[in-house]
Amino acid sequence: MNETAQESLNTAVWGRIAAAGNRAARWPWWLQVGGLYVAARLVSACIFMAAALHQGVNPWFPPRPDYWNFINIWDARWYGEALSNGYPTQLPVDEAGNVKENAWAFYPLFPLLGRSLSGLTGAAPAASLTVIAMLSGLAASLVIYRLFRLKSAHRTALWGSVFFSVFPVAPVLQVPYAESLNLLLLAAALLMVMRRRYLWAIPVVLLMCLSRPTGVPFAAMAGLLLLWRLYPYLRLRFQGLPRAGGPVAEEVPHNAAELWSLTGLTAAAGLGALLWPAIAWATTGDVQAYTKTETVWRGQDLVPFKPWFDTGIQLFGPGLGLLAPFVFVAAFALLMMSRPVAALGAELRLWCICYTGYLLVFLHPQTSTFRMLLPLFPLALSAALVSRSRAYRGTVVVMFLLLQLVWVVWLWAWAQLPGGGDYPP
């Protein structure tokens, strides 16, 4: 093929791609968002299948498993245990009296829905959990797009949802983990908060609190938002100042009922955050049943902030290691003050701040930390707001997909460490 013919072929191919893109741009928004999310999950499925071909000896199945076996490992086994056998009435302990790993660390909404689906359809527990995770992830992408549309135009919101769909740890949205269900409920709650439908958000938040431990940061976010809205309301009410225009006026509640509704949401989120630990206490008779179980995986008692300094010292030595958490906090503060993040508005910025603060207080940083960053999905819209350049946005997508390869091969696939075990995803 001569050079002229090659150029004509390239022009024809790119012309067809552009024409297909123009046709897709005329689809309804939900079809665009859903189609791109499904395409992202198919890419992730290919990554899983390629990694499975190289999977060696592991604790769960023979080498080179099929796709369905490969995605049903790690915490998926614990959710399956909770679905099939429920939660223990007595905490299991070893010979020394220390609490052993058990199902109380895994919140009940996801396995409860799986049990219901298995009962209705007769499907295997693993299949039911996988279906729920996949459908929840798809629904979450649609709700997230609607959330982003409150702060941006269609194309930017669409890119933000694409960034969410291809995020480096996004493959977890199609495995039997509760992340996709939790993100669906979290995004729905945030959407209602941004629309100031606080009372409607309460049942969603309570369900969210039973899917994963996001109740504490949500309650903190709602409480800070209440204070943020209360000050200008009181100032207008008691000083008799006129309601001005501009962004400040947007933060002023329309009436006292709106403030009381937000107060109710704050209280409900706080109670919801305590609901699962209270259920564990009532069932086992041990007031620390949930906390003891949760800390088994970290191998030490819960001491706020300390694990971050311990990890910093482990990675950077005793000098720089003590400074590392402060450097991280300073960098995050600068990020929160940047123009793309400021464009998210008070609610989404407060959520990102409160959730990150929650991780700093309670999280033991490890390889699972990457997965726990998914609730910071509003930053995907900020990433799309950085530039409208197709080259920039396309590069972000490609880099995220390459990092999916890293995440699946490094953390999801099992490769025994010299000391035994493997890094968890």
Among 233-237, 243-247, 347-351, 383-387, the range scoring the smallest mean pLDDT is 243-247
| Higher-pLDDT residue of 10, 217 | 217
Query: Model confidence over 373-399: pLDDT tens digits?
Result: 999 999 999 999 999 999 999 999 999
Confidence at residue 425, expressed as pLDDT on a 0 to 100 scale: 94
Q: Tens digit of pLDDT for each residue in 145-172?
A: 999 999 999 999 999 999 999 999 999 9
CB-CB contact of 161 with 53 (8 Å): no
pLDDT confidence of residue 25: 75
Mean pLDDT computed over every residue of the chain: 91
Above pLDDT 70, what percent of the chain?
89
Task: Compute how many other C-beta atoms are within 10 angstroms of the C-beta atom of residue 105.
Answer: 19
pLDDT of residue 183: 98
- Distance separating alpha carbons of residues 366 and 311, to the nearest angstrom: 8
Confidence of residue 5 (pLDDT cuts 50, 70, 90): low
pLDDT of residue 386: 97
- Please determine, for residue 297, whether its predicted confidence score (pLDDT) is greater than 90: no
Condensed to tens digits (0 to 9), the pLDDT of residues 69-94 reads 999 999 999 999 999 999 999 999 98
